Structure 1
Amino acid sequence: MGGLTLYLHVGPHKTGSTYVQELCTGKSEVMAAAGLLYPKEYFRLYGHHDICKVFNSHDDEVVFHSVVDKWKKQGCDILLSSEKLSLMSGDFFRKLKGLFPEYAFKIIYYYRSPSDRMVSQWQELVKHGFTSSFPEFFAKSFFRVSQKGDIGHERFLTDLESVVGRENMVFIDHKRCVSEGNSMQALMSVVGLNGLVEDDNVRRNLSLPIAKAELFRALNIAQQRSDCDASENVRLAFNRLRLAKEPAVRELMDMISADLMYIEVGNSAVDLASYDYMVSRYSDRFWLEPLVPVGRKVKVPRGEWMFNPRALQLLYKVFSVSQGQSEVVFQD
């Protein structure tokens, strides 16, 4: 079965992963006919996010071995895609590689300037219950810049390189793909199926508007401190009850909007250092030459609006309604 390749698209988060995953899902049969398997196993929300759990226990490994045998019998190249893979260790990739000794092992990584990605990442985390303010998240992230899985991926990439070899890593510049509308073209080119699946340039998994993200963050805090059942995400309850048009919500949104400030992202010292590192170490491993970092101004919340007594009163009211209660008890 020589000549086959296992491609791992590892994200990372907020680099357009959902976009290419959804296109791959819709064209999986076309891809399979062309010799590239986009498996249905370990699949959730268009990507293979559950692949990260296959070595959690002996039983998980036994099941995974049988699935791998099933994939191999199809005699195709294999594409696995999950941004969660960018959080995994070198040991994980070493074990995975060991199950495919007859396959070439290729990594696909979409590169995005750290501070630019960080704004989108904060908005995404808030969707799922995150409570830190943007300034707090920003500060902590920059202090942890060298840590794997945070805004700097040097350690992660070094771990990967030790497992698969530098020659088996391919980088795609997210900023260039967005500007040229060719994220899917890039992926198809890397896997040797240039033009098979075309870009539709429909945005997926959109970030929340920044003021709404800040409102949800405050509601997340309220849920943490209340005696309410936390089984339903605050954002989902808010949308299910269609609270956006409530007068209290509109007033809160006005307060938050007045509290926004501009910051410049994309060309900070961290971005420039990250770009220099990527170009100096991997310039010949990029699909196309990466664009030089350029700053752009974005609005982010200060968080000072929460010190307004009127805002706290309105927030209390909105949260109570979102929980289907007239009054909610908060823990000290």
Structure 2
Amino acid sequence: MGPHKTGSTYIQKRLHENREALNDSGICYPDAYYLFFGHHYLLNALNGEDGVDKIYGNFSLGSCDHKDILISSENFIYLTKKGLLKLREVFSGYDLNLVYYIRRPSLRLLSRWHEEVKQGGVASAENYFVSHLFRPMQSSEVNNIRHVDLAIEIFGRNSIKLVDYDTAVAENNMLSLLLSVVGKDFVVPDVREDVNKMVSLAEIEIIRFLNFRALAAGLLKGSNVREAFYSSYEEIFGAVDELKKRIESHAYEVTIGDAGFDKAVQSLLVNEYHDLLINKPSAVEKVVKIIPSSNWMMETGLVQEASAISSLVFGKLESKNG
């Protein structure tokens, strides 16, 4: 069930690569609504107007007879009440278990900002944080417990399982915990693999600048700027490396991981949802991160350097569009 930045890409990649072993052990990882490694297209079908019979038929579940069915998408965190009710109806003949991975909010927010920029976002780290932290417990990005409560209301408490992400990372059992829900812990072993790894935040700032310029020029379409940036990397490496160093001189140190809302969510897990946790709750700890300030864009020289990079990158975009 997600949310984003809680190991979902790693889990889905391992499931995708080991479908045969899963099938042999009695677990079906179906093809329906499949994109990359997960069932990401299912979100729109459930939240939208597709009927229960149509969705059920698209799964062609005959191939999954007598097997446990496992579906995965971090986008399921955006299922509305209507979508969750439809999910319950589609799989009404099954014993449903919904597994949520819960991560300390401030750490996840930084990863989410990073991912948003990769996908075409233009908000600075400061603005992104403020937009969610102004009312943290009302933000779905900070307080995922709200979605857990909705799922409990619809499916019942016994159908909900929670995994403490930080403990799972430390113990390297992210996937094993998911498979343990159906008693198949060791069918696909966990590995130490950094999937969808964060790149330098200074590099993300350059991509954000390019997104902003592309948006103003009418060139921005999803992650196309990032893709053009990396396809141009050999040509622009020297300029990018120098600009990253200068952006880093505008960075500042931030201590995250133990904010008030981190402690509040962890307290809820320990005191209100301990019966749903299938691993140990992690301790709330401080983590120091170096965050690039958007103030670098106030320096004419740095903007000129970034603009020179944008000319090369946008040349790729325009040739592709042409």
TM-score by length of 2: 0.92
**1:301: which partner in 2?**
292
Q: Does 1:11 align with 2:8?
A: no
> Once the 2 structures are TM-superposed, how far is the Cα of residue 165 of structure 1 from its aligned partner?
1.0
**In structure 1, what is the Cα distance between the partners aligned to 2:298 and 2:48?**
47
Contact 1:148 1:155 in 2 (8 A): no
**2:312: which partner in 1?**
321
> Once the 2 structures are TM-superposed, how far is the Cα of residue 175 of structure 1 from its aligned partner?
0.6
**In structure 1, what is the Cα distance between the partners aligned to 2:168 and 2:62?**
31
**1:270: which partner in 2?**
261
Match 1:161 to one of 152, 159, 166: 152
Gaps of 5+ in 1: 1-9, 328-332
Contact 1:244 1:250 in 2 (8 A): no
Q: Deviations over 1:25-51 (max 9, x none)?
A: 111121122111111111112111011
**2:278: which partner in 1?**
287
Contact 1:170 1:286 in 2 (8 A): yes
Q: Does 1:44 align with 2:32?
A: no
Q: Deviations over 1:146-180 (max 9, x none)?
A: 23632111221111110111111111111111111
Contact 1:87 1:148 in 2 (8 A): no
Paired residue type of 1:270: F
Contact 2:132 2:139 in 1 (8 A): no
Query: Using a 3 Å threshold, how does the CA distance of structure 1 residues 136 and 58 change in structure 2: closer, same or farther?
Result: closer
Q: Deviations over 1:110-143 (max 9, x none)?
A: 1110001111111111101110100110111112
Contact 1:243 1:249 in 2 (8 A): no
> Once the 2 structures are TM-superposed, how far is the Cα of residue 250 of structure 1 from its aligned partner?
2.6
Paired residue type of 2:110: V
Contact 1:126 1:216 in 2 (8 A): yes
**In structure 2, what is the Cα distance between the partners aligned to 1:162 and 1:110?**
18
The residue correspondences of 1:84-95 to structure 2 (distance < 5 A) are: 84-95=75-86
**1:191: which partner in 2?**
182
User: Identity of counterpart residues, as a percentage?
Assistant: 29
**In structure 1, what is the Cα distance between the partners aligned to 2:192 and 2:127?**
33
**In structure 2, what is the Cα distance between the partners aligned to 1:22 and 1:236?**
21
**1:136: which partner in 2?**
127
Match 1:235 to one of 205, 226, 231: 226
- Between 145-154 and 73-82, report the one with greater CA deviation: 145-154
**2:141: which partner in 1?**
150
Name the SS for the 1:149 alignment partner. Answer: coil
Name the SS for the 1:109 alignment partner. Answer: strand
**In structure 1, what is the Cα distance between the partners aligned to 2:132 and 2:151?**
22
The residue correspondences of 1:193-272 to structure 2 (distance < 5 A) are: 193-228=184-219, 230=221, 233-243=224-234, 245-272=236-263
Q: Deviations over 1:288-320 (max 9, x none)?
A: 221121111011111111000001111211111
Contact 2:43 2:79 in 1 (8 A): yes
> Once the 2 structures are TM-superposed, how far is the Cα of residue 234 of structure 1 from its aligned partner?
1.1
Contact 1:265 1:297 in 2 (8 A): yes
Q: Deviations over 1:173-229 (max 9, x none)?
A: 111111111112211212210211101111101112111111111111111112547
* Aligned-residue CA RMSD (Å): 2.0
Contact 1:148 1:156 in 2 (8 A): no
- Between 20-29 and 221-230, report the one with greater CA deviation: 221-230
Query: Using a 3 Å threshold, how does the CA distance of structure 1 residues 103 and 174 change in structure 2: closer, same or farther?
Result: same
**1:80: which partner in 2?**
71
**In structure 2, what is the Cα distance between the partners aligned to 1:234 and 1:99?**
38
Match 2:99 to one of 96, 108, 119: 108
TM-score by length of 1: 0.90
